[in-house]
């Protein structure tokens, strides 16, 4: 085992798994919260040509505690300290690359989506659909600005999510209203299954935007060391760590925690996160407790015992995370409804051709 001192004095443990040759190509393995570096041993056995270095983050495994709240910034400093001490080369720690790519790919789609249903292919002047949607663009802009100033954090992501959702939803409903009014006044074609499916799918995009961007902008997380009776405040919720008891499952043994959750000091629910040791293979798994809701999900995960009855505890609030799945389901439903349109069905075989001599 190698020990490395992080920038704030925390002593980090790094386990050499697999090939001990210092000239072998290194692979730095970082565990999820609630685990320790040795969980990577089975993977290291499958990579005999690599020098596998498994880090115990601060407060986990054989690394020391920092004596306060565990943060992602601290974990990032641990990775940088180990990479520098073991001469692993330059690395970067920051937001995921896909977050930028998601915005770059989705922005044109979101902006153009409401225009499609109102545009006649190759027979449309751009000024007509733009004029129809201009009031709704103003409404979406006002909603986005309101979201920016009302959001307690992640203002730009919240503003983008609210603007995009209102823009897509309002533009889609404008198309629906145009079809209804046109049919009533001008004898326009009926509202076909294809149009209904498109409407459902576009509304699904609006719901997905709320889920994806507001979850990213408003999610909160804390990881702390707690003893029985200690409380963790996160947003409007207070998580009180009551105790940990040993329990027996069908094929595992577990340390089962009890966490009482309060919203504005009113009892809300009791959650039971577990750390399980499975009999087959001796694998340790963290089973997070989840309190589900329409506008938010609460997560509680039990980490490592830190001694003296103290445990690492991770609490997480994800607002609107279920709207991501709801949006995807609406888009899927829209696809099925569109596929049911008679125009997309193969024509029945001509019976006369079958009976012809």
pLDDT digits (tens, 9 = 90+) for 169-216: 999 998 888 888 765 545 455 678 888 899 999 999 999 999 999 998
Q: Are the beta carbons of 242 and 273 closer than 8 angstroms?
A: no
pLDDT band at 124 (very low <50, low <70, confident <90, very high): low
DSSP 177-237: HHHHHHHHHH-PPP--HHHHHHHHHHHHHHHHHHHHHHHHHH-EEEEEEE-TT-EEEETTE
The segment with the largest mean pLDDT, out of 91-105, 188-202, 339-353, is: 188-202
Contacts of the segment 341-348: beta carbons below 8 A, 24+ positions apart: 341/192, 341/193, 341/194, 341/197, 342/193, 343/192, 343/194, 344/194
pLDDT score recorded for residue 80 = 82
Q: How far is it, in rounded angstroms, from Cα 272 to Cα 141? A: 43
pLDDT score recorded for residue 286 = 83
Taking residues 306-331, what's their average pLDDT?
Answer: 91
- Specify the fold of 2-85: Rossmann fold (3.40.50)
Segment (H or E) for 113: none
Residue 326 has pLDDT above 80, yes or no: yes
Q: How far is it, in rounded angstroms, from Cα 12 to Cα 129? A: 61
How buried is residue 15: exposed, middle or buried, by Cβ count under 10 Å (0-12/13-18/19+)? buried
Higher confidence at residue 192 or residue 335? 335
Question: In the block, which residue shows the tokens 């607002």?
Answer: 319
How much is the mean pLDDT over the chain? 84
DSSP state of 37: G
């Amino acid at each position: 085992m190698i020990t490395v001192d992080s920038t704030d004095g925390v002593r980090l443990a790094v386990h050499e798994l697999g090939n001990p040759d210092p000239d072998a190509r290194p692979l730095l393995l970082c565990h999820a919260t609630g685990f320790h570096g040795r969980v990577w041993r089975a993977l290291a056995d499958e990579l005999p040509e690599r020098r596998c270095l498994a880090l115990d983050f601060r407060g986990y495994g054989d690394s020391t505690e920092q004596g306060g709240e565990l943060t992602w910034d601290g974990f990032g400093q641990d990775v940088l300290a180990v990479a520098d001490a073991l001469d692993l080369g330059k690395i970067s720690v920051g937001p995921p690359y896909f977050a930028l790519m998601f915005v770059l790919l989705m922005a044109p789609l979101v902006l153009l989506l409401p225009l499609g249903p109102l545009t006649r292919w190759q027979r449309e002047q751009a000024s007509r659909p733009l004029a129809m949607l201009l009031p709704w663009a103003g409404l979406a802009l006002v909603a986005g600005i309101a979201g920016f100033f009302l959001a307690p954090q992640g203002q730009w992501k919240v503003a983008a999510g609210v603007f995009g959702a209102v823009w897509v939803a309002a533009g889609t409903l404008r198309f629906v209203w145009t079809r209804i009014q046109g049919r009533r006044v001008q004898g326009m074609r009926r509202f076909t299954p294809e149009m209904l499916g498109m409407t459902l799918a576009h509304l699904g995009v609006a719901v997905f935007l709320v889920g994806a961007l507001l979850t990213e902008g408003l999610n909160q997380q804390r990881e702390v060391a707690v003893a029985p009776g200690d409380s963790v405040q996160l947003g409007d919720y207070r998580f009180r760590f009551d105790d940990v008891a040993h329990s027996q499952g069908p094929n595992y043994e577990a340390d089962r925690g009890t966490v009482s959750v309060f919203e504005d000091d009113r009892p809300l629910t009791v959650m039971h996160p577990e750390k399980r040791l499975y009999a087959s293979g001796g694998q340790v798994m963290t089973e997070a407790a989840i309190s589900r809701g329409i506008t938010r999900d609460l997560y509680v995960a039990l980490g490592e015992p830190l001694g003296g009855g103290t445990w690492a505890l991770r609490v997480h609030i994800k607002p609107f995370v279920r709207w991501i799945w709801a949006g995807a389901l609406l888009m899927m439903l829209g696809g099925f409804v569109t596929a049911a349109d008679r125009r997309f069905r193969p024509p029945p075989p001509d019976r006369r051709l079958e009976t012809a001599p």
